Structures are given as C-alpha cells and as structure tokens.
C-alpha cells in the first residue's frame, strides 16, 4: 500500500493522508473520525473507496463503489471495529472482502490493536460471508442493537 498526497491539497490534521492505494483500491479519506468515548480524533479512519480508472467497470477517472473503515481508535482492550458498505452494482464481486482484508492488515500494523471486530445483521448473508472469507468467525451477539 502507498499513501497518496498532493501539494495542491490542504495539509492533513494528524496522521492522515488524503488517500491510500492498496491493491486495486484507492481509499480516499471521507471524514475525520471522532472516537465517541473520548471525543478525540481517531487515528484509524473511515474512507470512501474507488476503483481506479484502469479497473473493469470503472469510469476513466475512477468509480466510487463504497465506503468503510474503522469506527474509531483501539479501545482499552486493543479492539477496533470495522464497518463497510458497497454499492449494489459492485456487490458480489469480491470488493468488500478485499477491502476488509486490507483494513485487517492496516489494523494489525498498529501495535495497539489486539482484536478486529466486524458486526452485521443476522439476515445479511452476503455481509456475513464477507466477514467469514476475511477470516472472521462468529463470537456471539454484538453490542450494536439488532446485530448478532
């Protein structure tokens, strides 16, 4: 993976880059994540992800296919949670699985991270399968209302 920046962009606040290229994805910083427990900026973010223009199905300038990332910084237990969403036209093509795997690698590159959590609703079989393909296993009911 490689960070992407430009002298034409404003300087990022904290340890952020405007974008990160990982495999066929270009993760673009979509918002500055705030850790709800502390009110401070989180250092693992949430991103829009775009197919590069040279990928099948992408427009010449790239195509937005989804968003996802981390819901905040690692907590006191070293736990981070990921979330993601892929536009329906790009579902069932392996993009979510590839993105989740990249976020897992990014998370475990941070020495504070011990556990990566992913939650989904019981009826969202494709999302459950994404998590399974990325190496997750069911560990019980989650903390989000309605999520297993």
Q: Over the stretch 105-131, which tens digit does the pLDDT of each residue have?
A: 888 888 889 999 998 887 888 889 999
Dist. CA 59–CA 140, nearest whole Å: 41
Strand, helix or coil for residue 89:
helix
The confidence band for 33, taking pLDDT boundaries of 50, 70 and 90, is low
Smallest CA-to-CA distance from 105 within 134, 75, 72 is with 134
Find all residues with CB under 8 Å of 11, minimum gap 6, and list them.
none
| Residue whose pair of structure tokens reads 């502390």 in the numeric block | 38
Q: Please count the other Cβ atoms lying within 10 Å of the Cβ belonging to residue 25.
A: 22
Smallest CA-to-CA distance from 48 within 61, 66, 36, 33 is with 66
Dist. CA 102–CA 69, nearest whole Å: 10
Query: What pTM value is reported for the model?
Result: 0.67
The confidence band for 148, taking pLDDT boundaries of 50, 70 and 90, is very low
pLDDT of residue 101: 92
Q: Please count the other Cβ atoms lying within 10 Å of the Cβ belonging to residue 12.
A: 13
């Amino acid at each position: 993976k490689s960070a992407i920046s430009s002298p034409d962009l404003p300087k990022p606040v904290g340890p952020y880059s405007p974008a990160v290229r990982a495999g066929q994805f270009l993760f673009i910083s979509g918002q500055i994540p705030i850790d709800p427990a502390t009110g401070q900026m989180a250092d693992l973010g949430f991103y829009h992800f775009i197919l590069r223009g040279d990928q099948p199905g992408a427009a010449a300038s790239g195509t937005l296919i989804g968003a996802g990332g981390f819901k905040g910084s690692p907590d006191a237990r070293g736990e981070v949670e990921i979330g993601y969403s892929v536009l329906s036209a790009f579902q069932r093509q392996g993009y979510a699985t590839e993105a989740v795997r990249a976020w897992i690698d990014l998370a475990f590159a941070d020495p504070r991270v011990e556990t990566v959590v992913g939650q989904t609703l019981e009826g969202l079989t494709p999302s459950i399968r994404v998590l399974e393909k990325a190496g997750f296993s069911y560990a019980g009911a989650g903390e989000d209302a309605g999520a297993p």
